[in-house]
Chain A
Amino acid sequence: MLEIRDLHAAVAGEPILKGLNLTVNAGEVHAIMGPNGSGKSTLANVLAGKDNYEITGGEALFEGKSLGDLEPEERAQLGLFLAFQYPVEIPGVSNMEFLKAALEATRKAQGKEEWDSVTLLRKARETCKQVDLDPQFLKRGVNEGFSGGEKKRNEIMQMLLMEPKLALLDETDSGLDIDALQTVARGVNSLRSPERGIVLVTHYQRLLDYIVPDFVHVLSNGQIIKSGGKELAHELEEHGYGWLTGDRNDGKDQSA
């Protein structure tokens, strides 16, 4: 489903990813962990197609198509979903209007049946409840005045509605209290299916108590330096990233 080979990428000209390899098959849940500044969020943004995140070498194939050749909206229409670390606020554009535009574009591109507005509203309300988000939020501007936790739940709500083939979650756990974390995890777990791939980008092991991954990868200095099963996350929690990167001081909260 996702095939990343020797990927090199630069942000505003500065190399961040330096030969990254990763394969995600349908039905798998992968966790990508790593210290701050290792390139985790860069990977997510490169895959989603953010401006200034440039592929300088290697390739990233999604469903056999080279992501570098596609506009961000084309990637989304193929079934790639990025849950943002910092979802932006869009005053003046209501959440509902936004969902309508997103679902119309993606469902049409994927040959799925289009939802009329009654169906859409019903599904949106149900999905809001599923992630403990007041359906009143559908009328508000996208993320406008939402708390950090509400923004993350709004991301998960969108993801559930859009039913992507591959979901990339960029530090969705950061800034969440334990209740919100469980809600988010329930939402992600409900998406687990043999047809779908999920990639969790996270700094902490905590999220992985609730969403148990099939594979854990450690990203450091733009490369995956170790891969393993779910137990790798526990080892990291115990020893710190310095255990693998060789830098004892490279603990949890150094800024990038």
Chain B
Amino acid sequence: MSALLSPEDLKRQALANVQDATESKAENPALTALRDSSLAALKAAVFPGRKTEQWKYTSLQPLADGHLNRRAAAAATPADLPGLGDYRLVLVNGRLDESSSALPDGVTLKREASRLEGLTTPFALYNGAALDDAVTLEVAANTDVAGTVQVIHYADGDQPAHCNTRLEVVLGTGSRMTLIEQYLGRGPVLTNAVTAIETRDNAHLSHYRLQSEARDSLHIGTLLLRQSGVSRIDSYQLMAGSRLRRNDVRAFIDKSGAELNMNGIFVARDRTHIDNQLCVEHRVPDCTSNQVYRGLAGEKGKAILNGRIHIHPGASGTLAELSNKNLLLNPGAEIDTKPELEIYNDDVKCAHGATVGQLDAGQQFYLQARGVPLAEAKRMLSLGFVNELVMALPDQAVADWAQPWLAGELGQSRGADEEAA
């Protein structure tokens, strides 16, 4: 059993990496400004511990294996990565593999990063302070990007280690794009990820965030959405639990008339863990946000969703909805869900609902009485529970990937395999 890990230990480990690693500064000078400012903020930051409210249900003890002490070494791009988009970028352990990457017209790539505002968690700050590579995509104004763009973040390693991976995207005025962010990987590597997206006036982003690294992997990720223009973001998030998975999703809706839609499915089977912290900031009048999440937990899995909607003073005419329904597949699993509304305004329409239920015995019997074995009946009913969201996936390639993936995640427990491994 590893020693208990305190917030001070985590901070010391993180700082040691960035204070030692001076050589990579020279490697990519475009990242120096962000590294310096992130490091300054990191020094003042407090890492989470057992008493931190936003980390109430998630322990960082798995990091006691020393993930933060070692950076994942450079690794080759696997040959068999899924091709879900018309164009693909691949980052392996946070480094762009240019030879495996291509982009459509109207999208330019820069190996830099600059976002700091809105990134407040120590892990996001550490990501900025420790970067040695990053990708910024700029979609030119009035460009309807021809073809979907898939960005794969691949984590690879045989020993406990971590990588920092970073994607920033700016959609120019009047542009449209479909972006598929996919997190894959093998081995006990902690992916410390930051994705920051900005949409300007009349931009429309369809965003997919697929997280299916191997179960022994760890992931602490931040998704930062900023709607600086009257724009629309449709975000679809499919996530499997792993040894540790934590997602901080923060959306700033900053221009009247903007619309944000977020749908998500998360699954925690066997001993996996997933913690979703959502926060939507309505800072200006007359904006709409709509969030629909479905969660499932089975065996000893643990799934968490905290959905905060913060409606600032002056943000009148806000329409904000959050729905989170969850299914507990057996009594040993755990789901913690909490909508959290903070409203400083009278003229808003805000609805929220969170439920945790179980598979319906009558439905199970109906399927069994038609010859369907119990395990298969449970799988079908679990899939049925999320089917509405799967059917609503507009991108066919993603839907074609998601259906068998979910069928696998919701099928038989892999517990026995894992014990053997």
Cβ-based interface call for B384 (8 A): yes
In the complex, per-residue mask of A83-105: 1 if CB is within 8 Å of any chain B CB, else 0: 01001101111000110011001
Contact call A76/B371, Cβ cutoff below 8 A = yes
Q: Quick one: which of A7-41 are within 8 Å of B by CB?
A: none
Q: A88-B363, A90-B363 are in contact. Are A98 and B370 (CB under 8 A)?
A: yes
Q: Report the nearest B residue to A72, measured CB to CB.
A: B368
A109-B370 Cα distance, complex, nearest whole Å = 12
Q: Are B384 and A49 in contact (CB under 8 A)?
A: no
Residue B40 interfacial (CB < 8 Å)? no
- B372–A101 CB distance below 8 A: yes
Q: Which of B370, B373, B384 contacts A91 (CB 8 A)?
A: B384
Contact between chains at A92 and B385 (CB < 8 Å): yes
Contact B376 A92 (CB under 8 A): no
Closest CB-CB distance, A114 to chain B, in whole Å? 13
- Quick check: is A141 within 8 A (CB to CB) of the other chain? yes
Tell which of A50, A98, A106, A142 touches B365, judged by Cβ atoms closer than 8 Å.
A50
Whether B366 lies near A101 (C-beta < 8 A) is no
Q: Classify chain A: how many residues form its interface, as a range.
A: 20 to 34
Contact (Cβ within 8 A) B371 A88: no
Bound complex: CA A71 to CA B371 (Å): 9
- Residues on B with beta carbons closer than 8 Å to the beta carbon of A71: 368, 373-374
B381 within 8 A of A: yes
- Whether, in the assembled complex, B45 has its beta carbon less than 8 Å from a beta carbon of chain A, the answer is no
The residues of A that contact B377 with a CB separation of less than 8 Å are: 73
Checking B361, B372, B383, B388 against A73 with a beta-carbon cut-off of 8 angstroms, the contacting residue is: B372
- Asked if residues B381 and A93 are in contact (CB atoms below 8 Å), the reply is yes
Please determine whether A102 and B370 come into contact, CB atoms closer than 8 angstroms: yes
Q: Is the CB of B380 within 8 A of A76?
A: no
Q: Is the CB of A90 within 8 A of B384?
A: yes
Whether B384 contacts A92 by the Cβ 8 Å rule is yes
Contact of A76 among B360, B361, B369 (CB under 8 A): B369
B362 within 8 A of A: yes
Asked if A109 contacts B371 (CB within 8 A), the reply is: yes
Query: Closest residue of chain B to A87, judged by CB?
Result: B366
Q: Is the Cβ of A90 less than 8 Å from the Cβ of B381?
A: yes
B residues in contact with A49, CB < 8 Å: 365, 368-369
Between A and B, how many residue pairs show CB distances below 8 Å? 82
B388 touches A106 (CB 8 A): no
A48 on interface, CB distance cutoff 8 Å: yes
Taking chain B's interface residues, is the majority helix, strand, or loop, or is none over half, making it mixed?
helix
Are B365 and A72 in touch, CB under 8 angstroms?
yes
Contact A92–B367 (Cβ < 8 Å): no
Interface presence of A220 (CB below 8 A): no
Most buried by A among B370, B377, B381: B370
B369 with A90: CB separation less than 8 A: no
Q: Is there contact, CB below 8 Å, between B363 and A97?
A: no
Chain B neighbourhood of A162, CB < 8 A: 370-371
Instruction: Please indicate the chain B residues that have their CB under 8 angstroms from the CB of A109 in the complex.
Output: 371
Q: Give complex CA distance A135, B167 in Å.
A: 48
Report the bound CA distance from A146 to B365 in whole Å. Answer: 19
Interface of chain B residues 347 through 398 with chain A (CB within 8 A): 360-363, 365-374, 376-377, 380-381, 383-388
Given A73-B374, A88-B363: A82 in contact with B384 (beta carbons within 8 A): no
Residue of B nearest to A73 (CB): B368
Which of B360, B365, B366 neighbours the largest number of chain A CB atoms within 10 Å of its CB?
B366
A143 to chain B, nearest CB (A): 9
The reply to whether the CB of A223 lies closer than 8 angstroms to some CB of chain B is no
Which chain B residues border A88 with CB–CB below 8 Å? Answer: 360, 362-363, 366
With A91-B384, A92-B387, A97-B380 in contact, do A51 and B361 touch (Cβ < 8 Å)? yes
Residue of A nearest to B360 (CB): A88
What is the 8 Å Cβ interface bit string for chain B, positions 328-347, against chain A (1 contact, 0 not)? Answer: 00000000000000000000
Q: Is the CB of B380 within 8 A of A73?
A: no
Cα separation A73 to B381 with both chains bound (whole Å)? 16
Supposing A92-B387, A93-B387 touch, asked if A101 and B365 sit within 8 A by C-beta, the answer is no
| CA gap between A93 and B376 in the complex, in Å | 12
A202 at the interface (CB under 8 A from B): no
Contacting pair A77 B384 (CB below 8 A):
no
Query: Which A146-165 residues have a C-beta within 8 angstroms of B?
Result: 158, 162
Q: How far apart are the CA atoms of A49 and B365 in the complex, in Å? A: 8
**Interface set, chain A 45-95, CB cutoff 8 A to B:** 48-51, 71-73, 75-77, 81-82, 84, 87-88, 90-93
Give me 9 A-to-B residue pairs in the complex whose CB atoms sit less than 8 angstroms apart, sorted by A's number: A73-B369, A73-B371, A73-B373, A88-B362, A90-B363, A97-B380, A98-B367, A105-B370, A141-B384
- Extra pairs beyond A50-B369, A90-B363, A92-B387 (19, CB < 8 Å): A49-B368, A71-B373, A72-B368, A73-B374, A75-B369, A77-B371, A88-B360, A88-B366, A92-B381, A92-B386, A92-B388, A93-B383, A98-B380, A101-B376, A102-B372, A105-B371, A106-B371, A109-B371, A142-B366
